[in-house]
Amino acid sequence: MRVLIVDDEALARLRLCSLITSLPEARVQAVAEAEGTEQALQALNHAASQRTPFDVLLLDIRLPGASPHMGLRLARELKALPHVPAVVFVSAHAEHALSAFELDAVDYLTKPVRRERLLLALQRVRQRMDAGLASTWGDTPTPAAVSTNAADSAGSASLVVSERGRVLRVPLVELLYLKAEQKHVLLCTVHSSHVLDESLAELGARLMQLTGLAGEPHRQAFIRIHRNALVARHAIRELALRDPQGFDDASDGWSVRVAPGNEWLSVSRRQVAAVRAALALDAPT
């Protein structure tokens, strides 16, 4: 695998290079650097002319240029290249994840990048290469996001997560909810629970990629019920106004009952309408 790091911060490029060096299992053959979009395009074209094209870009979103999000613009321009590399976005800002996955990014890492998350991203690129998909990025969905129908995708796809150095594959049909707690995220399934090192923003963006981006929020397979919680729509059994004691001020006491287990989770007042709409949509006619 040949990697091109595109970031205007020298320390950020150095950190990624150091992390890649510490990951022999990623089988990275060569690493090059670029500090902006123009330098990156030059490197890509030169590598292609030498028949040693890059397989993946570790691409920052905020780069110098006419737009504050030049990394996204560069990702769009890549489609015109004869050999289109896979893209893993690396950003200090999680709010651009949706835009990144609309461009069919393989992954979205938030700074500071953790070793385990970088390895997971490179392994995903390797899977694309082994499947012969690396050069068709931009035209072919990733293997985990073949279906654009939320219900179909949720029925067959899995979320790959990292827990204390080990990689887990969680079928979406078993996933009940994700809840941010201090510096970690609690992932609960029908059978077990896991404490993840990844952020809720990262996990939510990947869930959106897996289950499709079309439709209103209440039609999506996973619903944000609170700023710190995402719940599988199929797991919501009830929305109720319960005793406000024990709930934060933003919830007004609203909560959902998640089954199996009949656990109650707080719903923020701004998300009550979306949860109610989802339950009405799923109600038998």
Q: What is the DSSP string of 116-166?
A: HHHHHHHHHHHHHHHTT-TTBTTTS--GGG----HHHHHHH-EEEEEETTE
Predicted confidence at residue 22, as pLDDT, reads 93
Residue 33 pairs in a beta bridge with: 5
Residues whose CB falls within 8 Å of the CB of residue 118, separated by 6 or more in sequence, listed in order: 16, 19, 20, 23, 26, 109
Predicted confidence at residue 144, as pLDDT, reads 34
Domain boundary among 143, 172, 191: 143
CATH of the domain at 192: 2.40.50.1020
Tens-digit pLDDT profile for residues 4-24: 999 999 999 999 999 999 999
8 A C-beta contact, residue 197 and residue 163: yes
Predicted confidence at residue 168, as pLDDT, reads 78
Tens-digit pLDDT profile for residues 100-127: 666 778 888 888 898 888 998 898 888 7
Do 19 and 44 reside in the same domain of the chain? yes
8 A C-beta contact, residue 138 and residue 84: yes
Do 168 and 79 reside in the same domain of the chain? no
Q: pLDDT band at 182, cuts 50/70/90?
A: confident
Predicted confidence at residue 283, as pLDDT, reads 66
Residue 138 or residue 272, greater confidence: 272
Q: Kindly report the average pLDDT of the chain as a whole number.
A: 81
Predicted confidence at residue 245, as pLDDT, reads 53
Do 206 and 99 reside in the same domain of the chain? no
Is pLDDT of 90 > 50? Answer: yes
Predicted confidence at residue 136, as pLDDT, reads 38
Q: pLDDT band at 218, cuts 50/70/90?
A: low
Do 134 and 232 reside in the same domain of the chain? no
Residue 236 or residue 138, greater confidence: 236
The domain tally of the chain equals: 2
Q: Which domain holds residue 125?
A: 2-143
Q: What is the DSSP string of 16-54?
A: HHHHHHT-GGG---EEEEESSHHHHHHHHHHHHHTT---
Do 44 and 122 reside in the same domain of the chain? yes
Predicted confidence at residue 16, as pLDDT, reads 95
Do 135 and 17 reside in the same domain of the chain? yes
Do 237 and 195 reside in the same domain of the chain? yes
Percent of the chain with pLDDT over 70: 80
- Is the bond into 217 cis (omega within 30 degrees of 0)? no
Do 86 and 194 reside in the same domain of the chain? no
Distance, in Å, from the CA atom of 158 to the CA atom of 30, rounded to the nearest integer, reads 31
Predicted confidence at residue 102, as pLDDT, reads 66
8 A C-beta contact, residue 136 and residue 85: no
CATH of the domain at 69: 3.40.50.2300
Predicted confidence at residue 128, as pLDDT, reads 76
Q: pLDDT band at 243, cuts 50/70/90?
A: low
User: Poorest-confidence range of 90-94, 110-114, 191-195?
Assistant: 90-94
Distance, in Å, from the CA atom of 187 to the CA atom of 180, rounded to the nearest integer, reads 9
Predicted confidence at residue 41, as pLDDT, reads 94
- Rounded to a whole number, what is the distance in angstroms from the first to the last CA of the chain? 53
Q: pLDDT band at 250, cuts 50/70/90?
A: low
Is pLDDT of 142 > 50? Answer: no
